[in-house]
């Protein structure tokens, strides 16, 4: 293309974005567009100049101010407008709205309304491109406010050490909502922060289309050819308020007028003739608004559609066929599950702290542990550092990268080491992994497994002993699995990796060294199915993970000492709960004790008790009892920790009170 052609194409794209956003201002004011919107006025040259170098396979992450990114990446205007109105015909079937537009056919991994939320997803997209070697590039657009989020720093570091094909584009419009960047940011140029991560950082004029086009082109080409990431800071003027209707009290009328006048289109328009192009865009929008406003609303009965992906038949192994059972440990079950999953599917990768025993991207270290507990031992030797990677201690960064990699075609197994570290990356679990499929109207799945060690009893103290069962189970969009035996650990892990949903896989520390029957061959156990592991008639003891052995011991005592016949149910999955197995059992026994190693408030024990009360109240002969951990953090001192945990005696006493 000649320089004139480049400029002409750029101006057309910028004008298209501007016409779209001017129309949004007008239409939003009328009151029919739900919620709130943020427009892209003043930044048009950035989206247009960057996306000019990308094709549909290349990935972007966008922001709450993302209409420009979507248009420049090729979204259909009509489907965008319908999404702004929450209609079924919108890009995300109305589940996303302005701040959560995605179009996976155009490589848009979603607009993200969490500041900085998209940055680690783009790193994950780039990781997928890198592992697959398919030449794709990921670009993350974000604002200057995001450069003060931890995720920005974790993500740049991760992308830098792995040399990933990603370009970070900071649109610095001088404001984080109403807070000036000059106050909130410690450096004059966000780009200078690139030097902290050893990658190029460049400042460009975000109002100058040719400057954006040229510099972004160089960075994207470098990424595509294996040269690693770049941080680009585009200096802009935010022509309008933070959101449409922002009273902008933080700037004077004079400043507002100056901002409105700092128009990157004005200077270009004088040099390029748009002809009838603007009229064509207006006409396209006329028809887009007309069809959006007459389009159907989503059917209210579909409110829970898209939360979880349906089971995929193609990817399932034979269910449990114990032909060659031998004795093995829980840890071995997990290790064998990982080996099998990686052997049968090249898109499975394993990332996490210390999982390759400190080898990083280098050669395996002889005798290395393979994770803190040894679960990942040997994987690096067989599968190499392309698929088995140590991460820095950047939980938000690498969990977010796992989500992005899942969006971009991999099946990551992410090792978070301890569940107590999950709060550090709660955004990536809660706002990203769990919500992506729903917010984007089922356009994508998030097939990832988040492995974590849980549980008290090993004198690890308050920040290495949590279970967080109730916390995870309360989040729509996640499945939560809690295996209690070596055979379950293997079969459920294989099922979790094959599942198209994000699965939180909680391994109790006290169980790693326990042994039991372990089938040698690969098999899957169904997620969402509980198991009756001891039959009984008088009371049902309901447990998960480490409390299963408490329940079994209590059942023996009840039998031997009291002549009470106790049935024991191992939940195995705490989200979704196997309500049917629970209700059938309790309807028959008439009594239930629910044992939960989490603190009592709003936990699994409460949930199971509530579900049973609703389902079989008329069959209950006694109130349901909850036996839980104490309502405290996990204490260190052994007598205190023992008092914290539910015990066999607690279970027996609860059953005998019925």
Partner 1 sequence: MHDVILPKTGIYEDDVVLIEWIVAEGSWVAVGDPIFVIESEKVEMEIESNDEGWIHLEVEPGFQASIGTRVAVVADTELAYRGLVGES
Interaction pattern, residues 141-180, with partner 1; x per rule: CB under 8 A: ----------------------------------------
Closest approach of Cβ 150 to partner 1, in Å?
28
Closest approach of Cβ 26 to partner 1, in Å?
6
Which one is catalytic: 64, 93, 100, 464? 464
DSSP reduced 3-state for 281: helix
Rounded CA separation 26/245 (Å): 11
Torsional sign, CA 512, 518, 519, 523: negative
Of 177, 189, 248, 559, the residue at the interface with partner 1 (CB under 8 A) is 248
Q: Taking CB under 8 A as the rule, does residue 253 contact partner 1?
A: yes
Rounded CA separation 326/646 (Å): 31
Q: Which is nearer to partner 1, 104 or 250 (CB)?
A: 250
Q: Taking CB under 8 A as the rule, does residue 250 contact partner 1?
A: no
Rounded CA separation 166/509 (Å): 37
Q: Which is nearer to partner 1, 133 or 247 (CB)?
A: 247
Q: Quick one: which of 597, 602, 537, 548 has its CA closest to 571?
A: 548
Closest approach of Cβ 614 to partner 1, in Å?
35
Cα distances from 631 to residues 191, 597, 634, 644, in angstroms, run 47, 11, 9, 8
Interaction pattern, residues 191-230, with partner 1; x per rule: CB under 8 A: ----------------------------------------
Q: Count Cα neighbours of 296 within 13 Å in the Cβ-side half-sphere.
A: 5
Interaction pattern, residues 514-533, with partner 1; x per rule: CB under 8 A: --------------------
Q: Which is nearer to partner 1, 97 or 646 (CB)?
A: 97
Of 135, 198, 245, 638, the residue at the interface with partner 1 (CB under 8 A) is 245
Is 464 labeled as catalytic in the residue annotation?
yes
Of 13, 79, 244, 425, the residue at the interface with partner 1 (CB under 8 A) is 244
DSSP 616: H
Of 2, 3, 31, 301, the residue at the interface with partner 1 (CB under 8 A) is 31
Q: Which is nearer to partner 1, 25 or 184 (CB)?
A: 25
Rounded CA separation 431/241 (Å): 26
The size of the interface with partner 1 (CB under 8 A), counted in residues, is 20
Q: H-helix or E-strand containing 172?
A: strand 166-172
Rounded CA separation 631/627 (Å): 12
Closest approach of Cβ 30 to partner 1, in Å?
5
Q: Which is nearer to partner 1, 260 or 279 (CB)?
A: 260
Closest approach of Cβ 240 to partner 1, in Å?
10
Stretch that binds partner 1, among 27-35, 384-392, 471-479, 585-593 (CB under 8 A): 27-35
Q: Which is nearer to partner 1, 115 or 497 (CB)?
A: 115
- Dihedral angle of Cα 318, 322, 323, 326, to the nearest 10 degrees: 130
> 604 CB contacts (<8 Å, ≥6 apart)?
469, 470, 473, 544, 571, 574, 594, 596, 598
Of 7, 200, 243, 619, the residue at the interface with partner 1 (CB under 8 A) is 243
Q: Taking CB under 8 A as the rule, does residue 310 contact partner 1?
A: no
Q: Which is nearer to partner 1, 247 or 275 (CB)?
A: 247
Rounded CA separation 562/314 (Å): 50
Rounded CA separation 569/604 (Å): 14
Q: Which is nearer to partner 1, 257 or 343 (CB)?
A: 257
Residues 390 to 419 in contact with partner 1, rule: CB under 8 A:
none
Stretch that binds partner 1, among 245-253, 294-302, 327-335, 521-529 (CB under 8 A): 245-253
Q: Which is nearer to partner 1, 249 or 294 (CB)?
A: 249
Closest approach of Cβ 256 to partner 1, in Å?
8
Stretch that binds partner 1, among 33-41, 494-502, 602-610, 615-623 (CB under 8 A): 33-41
Rounded CA separation 512/330 (Å): 5
Rounded CA separation 631/349 (Å): 38
Of 105, 135, 180, 257, the residue at the interface with partner 1 (CB under 8 A) is 257
Q: Is 4 exposed, middle or buried (0-12, 13-18, 19+ CB in 10 A)?
A: exposed
Whether omega before 576 lies within 30 degrees of 0, making that bond cis, reads yes
Measure the N-to-C terminal CA separation of the chain; round to a whole number of Å. Answer: 82
Rounded CA separation 55/622 (Å): 64
Rounded CA separation 330/299 (Å): 46
Stretch that binds partner 1, among 189-197, 241-249, 390-398, 482-490 (CB under 8 A): 241-249
Rounded CA separation 255/248 (Å): 10
Which positions lie near partner 1, rule CB under 8 A?
25-26, 28-33, 35-36, 243-249, 253, 257, 260
Q: Which residues are tagged catalytic?
A: 464
């Amino acid at each position: 293309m000649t320089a004139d052609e480049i400029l002409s194409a750029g101006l057309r794209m910028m004008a298209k974005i501007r016409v779209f956003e001017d129309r949004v201002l007008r239409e939003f004011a009328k009151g029919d567009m739900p919620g709130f919107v943020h427009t892209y006025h003043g930044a048009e040259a950035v989206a247009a100049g960057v996306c000019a170098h990308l094709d549909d396979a290349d990935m972007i992450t966008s922001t709450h101010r993302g209409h420009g990114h979507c248009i420049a990446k090729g979204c259909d205007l009509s489907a965008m407008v319908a999404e702004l109105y929450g209609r079924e015909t919108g890009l995300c079937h109305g589940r996303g709205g302005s701040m959560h537009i995605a179009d996976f056919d155009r490589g848009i991994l979603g607009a993200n309304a969490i500041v900085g939320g998209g940055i680690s997803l783009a790193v994950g997209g780039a990781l997928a491109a890198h592992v697959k070697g398919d030449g794709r590039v990921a670009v993350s657009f974000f604002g200057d406010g995001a450069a003060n989020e931890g995720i920005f720093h974790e993500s740049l570091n991760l992308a830098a050490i792995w040399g990933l094909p990603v370009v970070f584009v900071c649109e610095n419009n001088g404001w984080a909502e109403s807070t000036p960047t000059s106050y909130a940011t410690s450096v004059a140029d966000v780009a200078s922060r690139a030097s902290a991560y050893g990658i190029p950082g460049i400042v460009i004029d975000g109002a100058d289309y040719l400057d954006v086009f040229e510099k972004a082109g160089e960075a994207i080409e470098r990424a595509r050819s294996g040269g690693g990431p770049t941080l680009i800071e585009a200096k802009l003027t935010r022509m309008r308020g933070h959101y449409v209707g922002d009273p902008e009290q933080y700037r004077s009328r004079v400043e507002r007028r100056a901002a409105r006048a700092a128009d990157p289109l004005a200077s270009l328009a004088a040099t390029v003739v748009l002809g009838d192009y603007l009229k064509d865009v207006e006409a396209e929008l006329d028809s887009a608004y007309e069809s959006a406003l007459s389009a159907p609303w989503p059917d209210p009965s579909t409110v829970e559609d898209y939360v979880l992906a349906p089971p995929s038949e193609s990817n399932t192994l034979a269910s449990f066929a114990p032909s060659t059972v031998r004795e093995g440990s829980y840890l071995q079950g997990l290790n064998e599950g990982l080996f099998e999953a990686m052997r049968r599917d090249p898109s499975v990768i394993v990332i996490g702290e210390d999982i390759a025993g400190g080898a990083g991207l280098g050669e395996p270290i002889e005798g290395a542990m393979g994770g803190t507990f040894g679960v990942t031992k040997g994987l690096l030797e067989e599968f190499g550092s392309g698929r088995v990677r140590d991460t820095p201690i950047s939980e938000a960064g690498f969990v977010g990268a796992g989500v992005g990699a899942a969006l971009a075609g991999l099946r990551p197994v992410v090792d978070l080491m301890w569940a107590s570290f999950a709060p550090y990356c709660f955004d990536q679990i809660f706002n990203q992994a769990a919500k992506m499929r729903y917010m984007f109207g089922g356009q994508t799945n998030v097939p990832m497994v988040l492995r974590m060690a849980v549980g008290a009893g090993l004198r690890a103290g308050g920040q290495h002993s949590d279970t967080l069962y109730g916390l995870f189970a309360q989040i729509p969009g996640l499945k939560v699995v809690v295996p209690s035996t070596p055979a379950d650990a293997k079969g459920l892990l294989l099922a979790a990796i094959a599942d198209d949903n994000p699965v939180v896989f909680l391994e109790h520390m006290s169980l790693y060294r326990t042994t039991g029957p372990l089938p040698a061959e690969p098999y899957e156990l169904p997620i969402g199915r509980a198991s009756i592991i001891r039959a009984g008639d008088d009371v049902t003891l309901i447990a998960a993970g480490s409390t299963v052995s408490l329940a079994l011991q209590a059942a023996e005592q009840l039998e031997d000492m009291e002549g009470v016949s106790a049935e024991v149910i191992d939940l195995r999955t705490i989200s979704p709960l196997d309500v049917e197995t629970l209700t059938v059992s309790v309807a028959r026994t008439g009594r239930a004790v629910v044992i939960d190693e989490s603190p009592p408030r709003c936990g699994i024990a409460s949930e199971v008790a509530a579900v049973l009360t609703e389902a079989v109240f008329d069959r209950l002969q006694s109130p349901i009892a909850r036996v839980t951990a104490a309502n405290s953090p996990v204490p260190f001192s052994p007598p205190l920790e023992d008092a914290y945990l539910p015990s066999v005696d607690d279970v027996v006493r609860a059953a005998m009170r019925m």
